[in-house]
Structure 1
């Protein structure tokens, strides 16, 4: 298996070394009129429970596609992806959705908040969909933890970029996922706000012992993870 793993000195993995996310010989091809485009080429990796791992590389290297496959948002053309012991490629769309709902949280560059819902309602929504009868109480607790207790009734358009990302982080962690996937979580933020959001992301991650897998161009952000996996042309180096 070809890969480059850069360990961060002095940062130990939490919990037992058990695989939480893995893939084996995964490839992704997109059909074209005269052949196909290879986005991922026989990628294999293992990420243990409690690890924080950054996937880094230039634009077009396949980082976000790999993240989508590991999270079960897409299926590989070949190979096998495992999430918390489940073989995602063996599940149908509903099965993958159920696996994500019970195990996975997401933080995206574009926040992905529903504009017609307040900050509180955005965080409550996944809790309510999961049948949590304490959705409002728990949503308020997480918004308080990210410093937004005074913004509960504000809509996304009334919040700054950093505040919107904090709502997104509160929403992601409120369901207590086993795995957190973050795709360029600071990409739309200025340097100072991005640093504050990153601090919050790692603080909550460490507090809950969640496995963190993030895609980023920011080498400083990547250096805060246990390991870095570097990609180029659809392969791990």
Structure 2
């Protein structure tokens, strides 16, 4: 399995005591799968996604990415796993304001030592329909265009896994549908495993599996729904 968790748990200390954000979760996701994580606000969806991506540390239990146990790595080693194997699309885009669209997409490739960073970034921006917007800064782009830059950036290293947190949450319906189509198209082309958090039931239904969260627990694993 490409992604595995064993008794994965997340607790947070508060003034009222320990808050159990995630109850122990056992999960397996195969290479190439498309998976949606759904549930009410506060159910633990985004926390689970952050733990799977190595952006946060579990209180107990394990996450394995391509047979590498994240709990045994330091932050620098986890960052290398993310750089080598993982792309992440944030709901708020998180583009760097002082960099152009091209430079935003190039940055992770350059940090990874990719000598063809600019060529790959240009090709990806062309695929997402932004070939004419390469030199534009984020504040010169619409929300949909910024999200497409974020998608291109996430795919620039041809990651094995793409994590997306509410990838269409800040977009209007028409733009959101275009971004959805783009995600699945690029997933099919590259064979990248797609794991996304979403409140959109229609978007979730396009995935091969739906994981339902409730109060920090994985309550349902519905397969072969796409």
Normalising by structure 2, what TM-score?
Answer: 0.96
Partners of 1:188 and 1:213 lie apart in 2 by: 18
Partner of 1:62: 44
Partners of 1:140 and 1:175 lie apart in 2 by: 13
1:200 to 157, 178, 182: 182
Structure 1: 4+ residue segments shifted above 2 A: none
**How many residues are treated as equivalent by the alignment?**
219
Partners of 1:195 and 1:22 lie apart in 2 by: 30
1:76 matched to 2:58? The reply is: yes
Instruction: Give matches, 1:64-143, under 5 Å.
Output: 64-143=46-125
The CA deviation at 1:95 is 1.0
CA distances 1:146-168 after superposition (whole Å, capped 9, x unpaired): 00000000000000000000000
The CA deviation at 1:33 is 2.7
The root-mean-square deviation of aligned C-alpha atoms, in Å, is 0.7
Structure 1: any 5+ residue segments left out of the alignment? Answer: 1-18
Q: Which has the higher contact order (CA 8 A, sep 6+)?
A: 1
Partner of 1:15: none
Partners of 1:157 and 1:60 lie apart in 2 by: 31
Partner of 1:38: 20
Normalising by structure 1, what TM-score?
Answer: 0.91
CA distances 1:53-101 after superposition (whole Å, capped 9, x unpaired): 0000000000000000001111111111111110001111111111111
